[in-house]
Chains A and B, each alone.
Chain A
């Protein structure tokens, strides 16, 4: 145990590469319900190697933050040498975690982008039921915000736009592709009726 601690020290001495210093890194994005259970989560860091470690983190984070009022403005706290930003709406709790030395306002932009794009995609019915019914949109949304810790996009309109193009919702905005598809179906329908 002793030697392990020493080796850790030498790790620090030997490896000087520090990625965190070069660009902002998001460690995880969480969407929990009002009891702290997972709706959708995404981890980008090795800080929590097992599912149990992740669950433990979510549980204690939820316990620490549940009483705070993060409904009008996003709130922030230090937690296990991480910075966590969070915002609640209805029975949904949104979290974004970054390293201790991260620029808080960059993480805030990520949280805002996540929160707003979900609101856009769920058409303002932001609650757990609606979220679970559109879980595919939420997974896609997470995929568009951060790729393995690197921020991809923080503008909610752009994020929601990218996700909605692919959504199966018939009332989603029509893009070029869907027009093409609509024409194809129409043509198919026409030929079928003609041949009858």
Chain B
């Protein structure tokens, strides 16, 4: 019957009419026919599943009809009723109608009723009802029927997001359920218990300790335990001796379930600072997976090894043979991962063989995979510059084949980077690019390559050989490319005097082009470069005028030009503001400006600083503070899971300090307005508040930033303590409509204190040769001072305390000092303090 339902709007409409005007009536007749009722519900579910949505009226009508079906004792029908109630997600006043029926089912003798009623009720309930049924839920968690217990536990996991204070009261029952004999109950209980305690590191650590010694029954629960164990390892941070719990992870590698083995292997590879001795057993099991008959296992293993190869390429080399056989894997995801891993681990001698294999492979994979391979080849080439010839050939070959824009762009970018970083590759690379633009369908790529040729071409030994390719563009391409080609020709003319006469001939022909821009450019170049026949050396000023960098942000220029009204006064380019207001997020656009693939992977932290800098400079009040020196990492000013979560970032400028308070309102029923932080700086005498910037409105769960700026004397590393109070106007929000009430109440919320310390003025800078740097500084910058560190357990801990206190960068490998027996330890720390260049050597007396 349902099989005949076709997904056409007309039929679906007919069906709905039928359902709403006849079948719903049918649902309510006194003698219920469970079978036909079930069919109607199935049809409704099918409609919802196909993406139809009921109008509010329809949904209410269905809901009321369905609630009447609680009269029926038929099990199958009841299950369908549960399902559709969950799908309809009734509103609060509708929920009340089914609550009593569901609560009756929750206390039923039938396990299936109990389990499902719990799931439905917890799905549709709100906080007030929850307190009424809490007692039953606690009972259900320890119910002897595993399905009932699981239903309650899983519901608890979801309720924790909305009503944490209630669910946290269930710890004892959940703890008991962790010991359950039923496999899945243990899994669900463990997940809930960890969620309840996630902010209590000690409790999680205790939980892990007890469970790693006990018995865990299901593989899923064992996987959870491995995850929590790695969290504990991550947070324990011990630097000396054996890693705690490593033995447990290692023992899991011998578990009988594959998912546990894999989870453990992955956890080991992700340990921070993992040693090769720790890695070996994990790599061995992953290697076994590589030759499995199941694609999922091969994929999981090769993906993990691929990640390991980024940090520990040597550890993976043992798997190279297995990896090579995966290049021909049916599953192209696996093949691509295998290739890129091999490209990371391969040595110089295996490059040629590998390239041969890849050539066959490239023709039958999708563009997205090809891009991955191209990027891997680029980093390989930078690693083995001597092999540039075969790698460059490979790139130019695939450049000639069919492919989309992104793929071609990846190849062109790679060639450009290789040309820049490997001088020997320049000539052949430029010729490859020239050949490519002869037959390139992408205007963007053509213009970029022409621009790049203009920069690099004149510097080669024989610039004249590129002219032909460039001039061909003037004949054959669209106006945009023609204009770019004219500029490139002019660059050759300006840079290479010998070519000048020939270039002028070519440029003169362009004066007759059909396009304005092309003609304008040609005329401009001819006039400025002196195209009236004489061969003169091009003036330096002219070169700068034509080809120099415009040191004005293009965005600013654009707005200024838009605002300019044609008048007697000509447009003055000096009037364009030079501050970067909002730097566009183009990082990978222009070839030739791209960061080298190999040297620049740690783009994480700088980009945050970038983001801060951009944010601050976009706020007019702070725009005259000068350059941002340093931003601290966020400091929490509230306990986890309080009503309002606030942390602060300290931004240090020359004469100012800006506190950026990141606030989150965690109460759905509230809307905060005019949120500001009142800072009492009575314990920070050197600071004077200049300005503050409140958040106008802070809705639920949307982060907002408020700022307070202080002035401080230049040249002093002013320190001090600030006490903070969050002040705001709170308005009630109706959760069902999301609309806020008109009137609000002013309120305050005490935050924790904040300190500005000496470390905030220190910038960590890596120094390769400490002694040279130190001696070049001179004695004027040297300060000797003594600090008491208090008792410390170990030397390593003392060193890390010093590093944290001073905010400086340890160098010459002093961070991980291992010896427990040395009495003194000379730690060399390096930094740029705010006011003067400086460094310090610290002797730590143990």
Given A14-B645, A68-B331, residue A105 in contact with residue B112 (CB < 8 A): no
Additional A-B contacts beyond A106-B220, A153-B150, A154-B220 (18; CB < 8 A): A6-B615, A10-B703, A13-B634, A13-B662, A14-B647, A15-B703, A22-B195, A23-B195, A24-B223, A38-B7, A38-B50, A108-B259, A132-B2, A140-B79, A140-B80, A147-B158, A148-B154, A148-B158
Kindly state the separation between the CA atoms of A140 and B119 in the bound complex, as whole angstroms: 13
Let me know if A126 is at the binding interface, CB within 8 A: no
Given A10-B705, A133-B2, A153-B184, residue A168 in contact with residue B83 (CB < 8 A): no
Within 146-181 of A, Cβ neighbours of B (below 8 Å) are at: 147-148, 150-154, 162, 165-168, 177-178, 181
Closest residue on chain B to residue A12 by CB atoms: B608
Q: Are A76 and B295 in contact (CB under 8 A)?
A: yes
Q: Which of B34-42, B124-132, B717-725 contacts A (4 or more CB under 8 A)?
A: B34-42
Partner of B34, one of A9, A55, A104, A168: A168
Closest residue on chain B to residue A21 by CB atoms: B227
Let me know if A187 is at the binding interface, CB within 8 A: no
Let me know if A41 is at the binding interface, CB within 8 A: yes
Q: Mark A35-52, 1 if CB is under 8 A from B, else 0.
A: 001101100000000010
Let me know if B24 is at the binding interface, CB within 8 A: no
Closest residue on chain A to residue B647 by CB atoms: A14
Partner of B75, one of A40, A143, A177: A177
Let me know if A78 is at the binding interface, CB within 8 A: yes
Q: Are A168 and B76 in contact (CB under 8 A)?
A: yes
Min CB distance, B158 to chain A, in Å?
Answer: 6
List 5 interface pairs A-B (beta carbons < 8 Å), by A numbering: A7-B703, A22-B227, A104-B299, A106-B259, A109-B219
**Count the A residues whose beta carbon is within 8 Å of the partner chain — how many?**
60
Chain A residue numbers with a CB within 8 Å of B188 are: 150
Partner of A162, one of B147, B219, B227, B258: B147
Min CB distance, A64 to chain B, in Å?
Answer: 8
Let me know if B71 is at the binding interface, CB within 8 A: no
Name which of B35, B123, B158, B703 has the most chain A CB atoms within 10 A of its CB. B703
Within 572-607 of B, Cβ neighbours of A (below 8 Å) are at: 582, 584-585
Q: Are A105 and B262 in contact (CB under 8 A)?
A: yes
Partner of B2, one of A103, A135, A143, A177: A135
Min CB distance, A90 to chain B, in Å?
Answer: 14
Kindly state the separation between the CA atoms of A3 and B614 in the bound complex, as whole angstroms: 10
Min CB distance, A125 to chain B, in Å?
Answer: 13
Given A2-B585, A51-B51, A168-B38, residue A23 in contact with residue B191 (CB < 8 A): yes
Chain A residue numbers with a CB within 8 Å of B703 are: 7, 10-11, 14-15
Name which of A77, A105, A150 has the most chain B CB atoms within 10 A of its CB. A105
Given A10-B662, A150-B157, A154-B220, residue A105 in contact with residue B231 (CB < 8 A): no
Closest residue on chain A to residue B334 by CB atoms: A76
Q: Are B154 and A54 in contact (CB under 8 A)?
A: no
Kindly state the separation between the CA atoms of A106 and B259 in the bound complex, as whole angstroms: 6
Given A10-B703, A153-B184, residue A104 in contact with residue B296 (CB < 8 A): yes
Given A5-B585, A74-B296, A103-B263, residue A136 in contact with residue B258 (CB < 8 A): no
Q: Are A74 and B295 in contact (CB under 8 A)?
A: yes
Q: Are A167 and B76 in contact (CB under 8 A)?
A: yes
Q: Are B83 and A75 in contact (CB under 8 A)?
A: no
Interface of B (DSSP majority class)? helix
Let me know if B844 is at the binding interface, CB within 8 A: no
Partner of B112, one of A75, A77, A109, A166: A166
Partner of A2, one of B38, B150, B158, B582: B582
Binding site for B on A (CB under 8 A): 2-3, 5-7, 9-11, 13-15, 21-24, 37-38, 40-41, 51, 54-55, 68-69, 73-78, 85, 103-106, 108-109, 129, 132-133, 135-136, 139-140, 143, 147-148, 150-154, 162, 165-168, 177-178, 181
Q: Are A162 and B112 in contact (CB under 8 A)?
A: yes
Q: Mark B741-774, 1 if CB is under 8 A from A, else 0.
A: 0000000000000000000000000000000000
Chain B residue numbers with a CB within 8 Å of A69 are: 330
Kindly state the separation between the CA atoms of A11 and B123 in the bound complex, as whole angstroms: 27
Q: Are B231 and A21 in contact (CB under 8 A)?
A: yes
Given A103-B223, A139-B83, A150-B191, residue A14 in contact with residue B664 (CB < 8 A): yes
Let me know if B55 is at the binding interface, CB within 8 A: no
Min CB distance, B373 to chain A, in Å?
Answer: 14
Let me know if B736 is at the binding interface, CB within 8 A: no
Chain B residue numbers with a CB within 8 Å of A162 are: 112, 147
Kindly state the separation between the CA atoms of A10 and B702 in the bound complex, as whole angstroms: 10
Kindly state the separation between the CA atoms of A166 and B80 in the bound complex, as whole angstroms: 9
Within 359-395 of B, Cβ neighbours of A (below 8 Å) are at: none
Name which of B76, B188, B198, B333 has the most chain A CB atoms within 10 A of its CB. B76
Chain B residue numbers with a CB within 8 Å of A136 are: 38-39, 41-42, 45, 76, 80
Closest residue on chain A to residue B607 by CB atoms: A9
Chain A residue numbers with a CB within 8 Å of B45 are: 135-136, 139
Q: Are B51 and A104 in contact (CB under 8 A)?
A: no
Min CB distance, B574 to chain A, in Å?
Answer: 26
Chain B residue numbers with a CB within 8 Å of A6 are: 611, 614-615
Closest residue on chain A to residue B2 by CB atoms: A132
Chain B residue numbers with a CB within 8 Å of A37 are: 7
Kindly state the separation between the CA atoms of A14 and B123 in the bound complex, as whole angstroms: 28
Q: Are A166 and B75 in contact (CB under 8 A)?
A: yes
Chain B residue numbers with a CB within 8 Å of A9 are: 608, 611
Given A14-B703, A73-B295, A133-B3, residue A166 in contact with residue B79 (CB < 8 A): yes
Partner of B262, one of A103, A132, A140: A103
Min CB distance, B695 to chain A, in Å?
Answer: 12
Q: Are B608 and A14 in contact (CB under 8 A)?
A: no
Let me know if B110 is at the binding interface, CB within 8 A: yes
Closest residue on chain B to residue A70 by CB atoms: B295
Closest residue on chain A to residue B73 by CB atoms: A181
